[in-house]
Structure formats: C-alpha cells, structure tokens
Structure 1
C-alpha cells in the first residue's frame, strides 16, 4: 500500500502523475481544499509536499499524527514550522540545487531588462518611436555587482556576472570559505560599493526588510536592485519611495510583499520591472524538483538518509 501524501501546492499534470506513482495523493492546492483535506484525511497522512511560500503550520502538523516526512519543493522553507516539526522528529527536506540555474538566469534577465530599459523600449518601438528620441541607458558589463547571499544561487549569479566582466562583491553573515570574491560585513557597505545589488538571501524573520531605506540610500541614484529571494527581504514602502524620488535608478523584482498581489505603489513606476515569482520555474527546474522530492521520499520510506535535508 502506498503512503498517503498531502499536496498543498499546484502541480502540472505530468508532475502530479509522477507523484501519484509513489503515493496515494490527497491534492489540496488552495486554502479551502487544504482545510477540508486535513480535516478529512489528517489521521492517515504520512507525508506533505509544500513550498516555502505555502508552508505548513504547527497546528496543521498536530492534526496529522502519522506524519513523518515533509518536503518543500523548492529551496525555500520560510513558512514551514521547522522547530515544531523537529520536535515531532519529522524528516524535513527541500529542493536545494534543483532550480538554482533557473533563478540565476532570471536574476540576470531582470537586471538586463531594468538597466537597459527593455520593457519601455519595447513599448516605445511599438508606438513608432526611434532611438534618437529616447534616453540612453548604461552598460551592465564592466560594472560592480553586489550579491546579498552567496549561497548556491548567489554563487551562480556571481558566475554569470564574471561573464559580463563585472567586479563582484558579496555579503553573508560570515565570509564564505574559499571564495575569492570580495566580502563586505554589512549590506549597507556592499550597497555603497556596488552599481547593481542582487538579493538572493533566504527569507524569514532574520532577513525581513534587510534591504531598507539606509541600504537603498547607500546604493544611490545610479544604482539598481534586483530581488529573486523573498518579498519580505525588501522594504516595499522604502523601495517605492526611493524609486519615485530617484534615490535609486531602478529595480527588478520577481518577488514582493503581499504576493500574489503586486504592491500598488510600484505599479505606476516606469523604473521597475515586475515578474510574478517565476524565477525558479521552468520545465527543467520543475522536473528536477519533483525528481528530487521523489528520490528523497523513496529513501526515507526505505529507511535511508535523505539527499537534501533541511
């Protein structure tokens, strides 16, 4: 008999079919279905598949007495009640490494789009404008790239930056052992040094509003910020004020506070490029994430160590 799995996130047909080969699936990808599914099936659920945004609460864990395995499909797990899950001796895994290249690609797509003003130029061209009537925009190549969070994704952003002949610095809580890149012990110091600030740090309480007014002021009127981490890391009100006042030159955001609704204060600004939290989504990344989940699950239920523990 296959173990019972509660799926709390939307899955495409192919992904869902793959998961159903290994589990008896209870599919509850929205809030109403989630509440009903836990009430109806909570006593028998042995595994949960979620993601960092959707999470899993301590109260929900307590309604599933047979629960033993929880997986976040992507790398993030900020809304998963980790401490409570560990108090229950649950096995926790994530999708670390499965979509890093996709997120790093998207970070650079946002950087290029906002610095080179690609969306606005596209609209102007469709309206018949020619280059002589439009403002010029700076190079990306040869500039200083600051990375907040030199984890797996941040490291891949750095590699892409090297391909653009960029000077690269980073901020972590502590220097990354063996990294040849320049380390800054504060985000504000990094922002003051760089031209472009790419945010790739984990979300959660520890990084909430890490990018605040002081950091944006340090970045300055010629600086750009790109966020591919979590919306909570950037102070939206401070960012909107900085963009509107010209305190920074522009922003590219794949994530924002209040998802799935983009902040109203940003929607009328021409110097911001927005995408709907798709940085880690591609056919290749989703397939790799699902495959990683299934590999972890097979190992757990066979009594073996999992591959990507939290």
Structure 2
C-alpha cells in the first residue's frame, strides 16, 4: 500500500460495470472515490476482470451497475467479488439484480429513484401521440417524395377522449396519468393494490383493464408476476382499435404475441422503447408504419444524466459514510 493510501477496509473503491455514461460521469466518480475499476475500459473478459478486482489489495466495496450491462448480479457474481457490500443501479428497474441473494449476504441495493420519471413519462406520451397522429410515418411519407405522387396522407386519430389503462401506477405511471388527464384522456389503472390517493378507476385484472381501455401503457416493474403481463388474452381484450405503449421492460409484453396481433391487425398500433432481447428487434416490426420504436432511450436527456450523476454519487457517499441510502430497494418492495 502506497504512503497516504487509505487502508483496504476503508478505501472507497468502486466497481463500474456501465457502458453508457459520458466522460464527465466517470471523471466525477474518479474525483470523489479512491479508485474506480472500469470493466469496459479494462478490455478484459468479465470473469478475469472480476477476479482481478477481488484479489486487488483494495478490493471494491461498491458497484455501479445497469440492466443493459454485462452480467446479471446473482449469487455467482457476488461470489466472484465477495467484498461488495453495496450495489447502485443506474436504472429504476432492478430486475437484473437478485435482491433476495443480496439481502441474504447483507449487500445494500439502491436505484435511480425518481431521477428519470418525468423524462420517461414525457416519452410515453410522445410515443402515444406519434402512433395516433402517425407523425413518424407521415415524415417518412414526405421524405420519400410520396406526397406529390399520392396526395394527402391518411388521417390520424385524436388523443383527447382516449381511455388509457396504465399498468403500474408508481412514480412513472402516476406522471403519465397526470399528463394524459391534462390532455383530455380518461385514466384507468392496474397495480398490486388500489391507490387511495387517486380517483382513477382501479382494475384488479389486467385483462379487464385492457377490455375497458383503447390504450394500454406498460409502466410496471419486471418480476416473475409481471413477465408477459401483456399476454395474448390481454391483447385480444384490448381489441382492433387498441394501442400498446411500453416504456418499462421488453419482457413485460409477450413480444411474439404482440407482433402477431399487429401483423393481423388485431390491435391498431404500438409505441415501444423496450424489447425482450435488446438490442435485437423482431424484423417484422421494422416494416410496420403503425409501430413507433426507440432504442431504450426514454430515460436519457442531458438534464437527467446530470441529475443521475449527482444522485448516484450521493447514494455512494451515503454508503461509504455509513448513512442510509437515498433510494434503497428491498425484495418486498419490487
């Protein structure tokens, strides 16, 4: 250990397993912590990187991770780096972290909290307007030179008056509801339990929610209970005029059934920011003008990334100082 270095037991050493951060994010981490072990900068295979980190004189005590990262944080991952006592996710979702295993080992977990919520809500509403008014499809019509040839583009549909069912009325779902209510929509919702704080109609069954709605917005977390929560039955209940918007996780929707329903016009359209096997997208969706797609970017704005940097550092500083995490996640809350 070099002169002036903190002892291994108190060193603020981070394991960074995140691809999509800008230089300022990484620079801010390096200014605040004693060492940052960056997987993507190392150029090593993940097993070798984790083994080297675990055997270092100052092994990492905290890790910054994200769902689109290189590995699921499970028992094998934690066995590889047994010094870890804190995980900070750069996402609100923590479906890639085994929370029960972390709790058993005494590893604290935090997520991004509400940092991204307004941006994701904005994105969901934007996608719905795009699908209804055919904004992206009409732009392609103009750019391809078809306007002078074919004349006016087919009419879109209005947003006001739509019956919108939201699956998951948490931070993001609530903000989506407020935005759509202000735009003249009727809001319904499904969640684990009814919310006393809202006047929206509650549906205990997602199928019944879909049957009462002509738009279904997926805004729930991903877990065993919500995997493929939008199933064939739900799509059938939504009907031929229905629209799906998914800004949650790709696996919340049965993607094969969705593609079939769109192809056969059993539903009218979809707005998708997330997919089951990212970055893979079903090929048949690419040619559908009634489908609007973005590459899992609903959370990303320049403002939100700056806020995320500050929020992440605050969670890490709290951990290293022995204080409660700002946005802890426990198995029973997901």
Deviation for aligned residue 1:33: 4.3
Matched with 1:25 is: 36
Matched with 2:263 is: 244
Q: Deviations over 1:160-201 (max 9, x none)?
A: 101211110000021123211110111111111112111000
Aligned 1:74-113 pairs, distance under 5 A:
74-113=91-130
What is the rounded CA distance, in whole Å, between the counterparts of 1:74 and 1:286 in structure 2?
11
2:230 is the counterpart of 1:211:
yes
SS at match of 2:310: helix
Matched with 2:3 is: none
2:21 is the counterpart of 1:4:
no
Cα distance, 1:253–1:32 mapped onto 2, change above 3 Å: farther
Q: Report the structure number with the largest CA radius of gyration.
A: 2
Moved more, 160-169 or 33-42: 33-42
Deviation for aligned residue 1:260: 1.1
What is the rounded CA distance, in whole Å, between the counterparts of 2:176 and 2:320 in structure 1?
35
1:50/1:73 contact within 8 Å kept: yes
What is the rounded CA distance, in whole Å, between the counterparts of 1:37 and 1:85 in structure 2?
21
SS at match of 1:48: strand
What is the rounded CA distance, in whole Å, between the counterparts of 2:210 and 2:89 in structure 1?
31
What is the rounded CA distance, in whole Å, between the counterparts of 2:14 and 2:250 in structure 1?
29
What is the rounded CA distance, in whole Å, between the counterparts of 2:199 and 2:120 in structure 1?
22
- Among 138, 158, 175, which residue is 1:139 paired with? 158
Q: Deviations over 1:253-287 (max 9, x none)?
A: 00011101112231222211111000111111112
2:51/2:81 contact within 8 Å kept: no
Deviation beyond 2 Å, 4+ runs, structure 1: 29-36, 52-55, 130-134
Matched with 1:150 is: 169
Matched with 1:223 is: 242
What is the rounded CA distance, in whole Å, between the counterparts of 1:244 and 1:256 in structure 2?
17
2:321 is the counterpart of 1:302:
yes
SS at match of 1:198: strand
TM-score by length of 2: 0.89
1:8/1:34 contact within 8 Å kept: no
Cα distance, 1:32–1:116 mapped onto 2, change above 3 Å: farther
Matched with 1:13 is: 23
Aligned 1:42-191 pairs, distance under 5 A:
42-43=54-55, 44-54=59-69, 55-126=72-143, 127-129=145-147, 132-191=151-210
What is the rounded CA distance, in whole Å, between the counterparts of 2:187 and 2:100 in structure 1?
35
Corresponding residue pairs, total: 310
Q: Deviations over 1:46-86 (max 9, x none)?
A: 11100234342221111212211111112111011211111
What is the rounded CA distance, in whole Å, between the counterparts of 2:111 and 2:124 in structure 1?
21
Matched with 2:332 is: none
1:257/1:263 contact within 8 Å kept: no
Deviation for aligned residue 1:32: 5.0
Cα distance, 1:39–1:209 mapped onto 2, change above 3 Å: same
Deviation for aligned residue 1:205: 2.2
SS at match of 2:225: helix
1:95/1:308 contact within 8 Å kept: yes
Deviation for aligned residue 1:117: 0.9
TM-score by length of 1: 0.96
Matched with 1:35 is: 47
